[in-house]
Amino acid sequence: MTIDDDGKSGYVDGNAVAGALAEAFRAEVSTIVLTCVSCGGVGRFAERHVYDHGPGLVVRCPDCGEVNARVVRTPSDMWLDLRGSLSWRIPMPPGS
C-alpha cells in the first residue's frame, strides 16, 4: 500500500469503481475474477487496488502492483485498457 503526503492510502478497493464499469459490462463488477498477466494472481475485482486521483482510474494487482486495467470516461465514451490482465471471468446470472 502506498501512503500519500496527507497520510491516506493512495488507492481504494475495486468496489469504488464497480458502478462505473457496470454500465459497460452489464454485470456485477465486484464479482468479476481477474488473472494478473504479470504474477498470475487470481482474485475478485473488488480486491484490486484502484487509484482514482487522475483523469481516469488505474486498477492494480494487490499482489505485485501490475496495472491490470485503465478506465477513462468522457462525456460520450468509456475507454478500457485491459492489457495487464490475462483474463476477466464474468459471472453471468442464471438464464442469461
Domain ranges of the chain: 12-86
pTM of the model: 0.73
* 3-state SS string for the chain: CCECCCCCECCEECHHHHHHHHHHHCCCHHHCEEEECCCCCEEEHHHCEEECCCCCEEEECCCCCCEEEEEEECCCCEEEECCCEEEEECCCCCCC
Per-residue model confidence as pLDDT tens for the chain (96 residues): 444 445 556 787 877 767 666 766 667 788 889 999 999 999 999 999 999 888 899 999 999 999 999 989 889 998 999 999 999 998 877 776
**pLDDT tens per residue across span 58-80:** 999 999 999 999 989 889 998 99
**pLDDT for 87:** 94
